[in-house]
């Protein structure tokens, strides 16, 4: 069984967009995220991107376009010395009430089955409480919120009291320093 570092995409690796990431032109990679992924690339962790993409379920872009964006993002990360070992996407709109949309743990459970991951010793890093709730629901021991993206606002929400204790860092790079 492998350990995994689960990463949310928007707000952790790339900037959030108010009107969604709909094409590669909308992608702004955080420079510190590239450094973080390069730094941890030789670790024991499988690096797995888990991302809600309701932009598909809302009919703004196709799942094929989301996959193209994710493939190009993984290639850029690779070019800078990092790696992505798997990408798992929830394409559903929130009202579809699926099991894969975070805060539900479906994406993490699917990744664990596909990639032989030991969830109990894995880590999730997200910019939203829903990311951490998905991780905790899947049995991850360590959950981390970063202040990039929506994280600074999410860290102050009263809903955080329903979660088990979690760590907070300014950026993905800062979080990686704690993990490695």
Contact 12, 123 (CB under 8 A): no
CA distance 81 to 69: 19
Domain membership flag for residue 172 = yes
Looking at the predicted structure, is the pLDDT value of residue 11 above 90? yes
Number of Cβ within a 10 Å radius of residue 19:
8
Do the domain assignments include residue 4?
Answer: no
Task: Please give the Cα distance from 40 to 35 (Å, whole number).
Answer: 9
Please give the tally of structural domains in the chain. Answer: 1
Cβ neighbour number for residue 79 with a 10 Å cutoff: 10
- Reported as a single tens digit per residue, the pLDDT across 142-173 is 999 999 999 999 999 999 999 999 999 999 99
Predicted confidence at residue 172, as pLDDT, reads: 98
Give the model confidence (pLDDT) of 108-122 as tens digits: 999 999 999 999 999
pLDDT value at residue 180:
65
**Whether the predicted pLDDT of 134 surpasses 80:** yes
pLDDT on residue 41: 97
Residue 131 inside a domain? The answer is: yes
- The rounded mean pLDDT for the chain is 97
- How far is Cα of residue 74 from the mean position of the Cα atoms in its chain? 13
Active site residues per annotation: 8, 10
167 lies in a domain? yes
The structure's pTM equals 0.97
Residue 96 predicted with pLDDT over 70:
yes
Per-residue model confidence as pLDDT tens digits over 55-95:
999 999 999 999 999 999 999 999 999 999 999 999 999 99
167 secondary structure, DSSP code: E
Domain span including residue 61: 15-179
Contact call for residues 133 and 141 (beta carbons, < 8 A): no
Residue whose structure tokens are 């600074």:
152
Number of helical (H) and strand (E) elements in the chain, helices listed first: 7, 6
* 30 within some domain: yes
CATH code: domain of residue 83:
3.40.50.1000
Residue 6 lies in a domain: no
pLDDT of res. 15 = 98
140 within domain boundaries: yes
Please state the separation of Cα 145 from the chain's center in Å: 11
Judge whether 169 lies within some domain. Answer: yes
């Amino acid at each position: 069984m492998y350990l995994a570092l689960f990463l949310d995409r928007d707000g952790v690796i790339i900037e959030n967009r108010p009107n969604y990431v709909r094409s590669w032109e909308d992608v702004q990679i955080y420079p510190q995220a590239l450094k973080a992924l390069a730094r941890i690339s030789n670790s024991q962790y499988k690096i797995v991107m888990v991302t809600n993409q309701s932009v598909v379920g809302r009919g703004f872009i196709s799942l094929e376009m989301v996959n193209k964006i994710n493939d190009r993002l993984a290639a850029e990360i690779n070019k800078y010395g990092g790696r992505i070992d798997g990408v798992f996407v929830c394409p559903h709109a929130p009202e579809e009430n699926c099991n894969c949309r975070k805060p539900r743990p479906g994406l993490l459970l699917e990744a664990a089955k596909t990639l032989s991951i030991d969830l109990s010793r894995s880590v999730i890093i997200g910019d939203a409480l829903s990311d951490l709730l998905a991780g905790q629901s899947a049995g991850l021991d360590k959950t981390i919120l970063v202040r990039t993206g929506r994280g600074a606002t999410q860290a102050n929400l009263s809903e955080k009291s329903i979660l088990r204790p979690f760590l907070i860092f300014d950026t993905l790079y800062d979080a990686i320093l704690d993990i490695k």
